[in-house]
């Protein structure tokens, strides 16, 4: 019973860490990476469709992305969607291929991105702590219903705290890696 609670907490905390990794991928660094465009949607036959489902996105060189739509009629829509996104990118079209040069990051934009990354990491930590609180509440209700002893509750609480500490350390490691990535020139 306690093992199920720990497994559930571990699985939910793992999802919080995965969500943080996805968010970090959207914070662009100076290098071109296809995941930067993950949040962009294009109107495709009346439906908002992710860019990756209507075009091929490749890395041309360290600072340039290449987007090749599967239908030529989508080129203007894709260009508009990229310009409307808050990524600060300016695409240029050559026939059917849309090239997106990554602007060099200034010191100020790097610091803003680091601030954003720290905020996202704190959100992930709070999420992990909320999962810990939920697990401890379930354990307390088991004690209240006299299904487990108070000693079992104390042991379970310690184990859940250890799991929480592991995942918070994972968030901290991810943040350090992202900061290092952003400060690279």
Q: Spell out the domains of the chain, with CATH numbers in brackets.
A: 2-26+106-183 (1.10.132.20), 34-101 (3.30.1360.40)
Nearest to 91 by CA among 44, 143, 42: 42
pLDDT at 64: 87
pLDDT of residue 29: 66
Low-confidence ranges of the chain (pLDDT < 50): none
* pLDDT, tens digit, 9 for 90 and up, residues 121-160: 999 999 999 999 999 999 999 888 888 888 888 999 999 9
As given in the structure block, the two tokens for residue 157 are 């609480």
Contact 65, 99 (CB under 8 A): yes
Residue 83 and residue 89 in contact, taking contact as beta carbons nearer than 8 Å: yes
* Spatial distance between the Cα atoms of 24 and 117, rounded to a whole number of angstroms: 7
Q: What is the pLDDT of residue 124?
A: 94
3-state secondary structure (DSSP) of residue 32: coil
What pLDDT is stored for residue 24 in this prediction? Answer: 83
The pLDDT score that the predictor gives to residue 28 is: 67
Contact 6, 15 (CB under 8 A): no
């Amino acid at each position: 019973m306690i093992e199920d609670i720990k497994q559930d907490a571990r699985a939910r905390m793992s999802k919080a860490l995965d969500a943080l990794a996805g968010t970090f991928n959207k914070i662009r660094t100076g290098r071109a990476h296809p995941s930067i465009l993950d949040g962009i949607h294009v109107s495709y036959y009346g439906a908002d469709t992710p860019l990756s489902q209507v075009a091929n996105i490749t890395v041309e060189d360290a600072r340039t992305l290449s987007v090749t739509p599967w239908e030529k009629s989508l080129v203007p829509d894709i260009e508009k969607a990229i310009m409307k996104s808050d990524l600060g990118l300016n695409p240029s079209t050559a026939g059917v291929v849309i090239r997106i040069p990554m602007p060099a990051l200034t010191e100020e934009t790097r610091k803003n991105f680091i601030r954003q990354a720290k905020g996202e990491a704190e959100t992930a930590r709070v999420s992990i702590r909320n999962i810990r609180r939920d697990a401890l509440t379930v354990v307390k209700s088991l004690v209240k219903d006299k299904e487990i002893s108070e000693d079992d509750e104390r042991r379970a609480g310690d184990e859940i705290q250890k799991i929480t500490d592991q995942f918070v350390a994972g968030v901290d490691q991810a943040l350090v890696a992202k900061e290092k990535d952003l400060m690279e020139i």
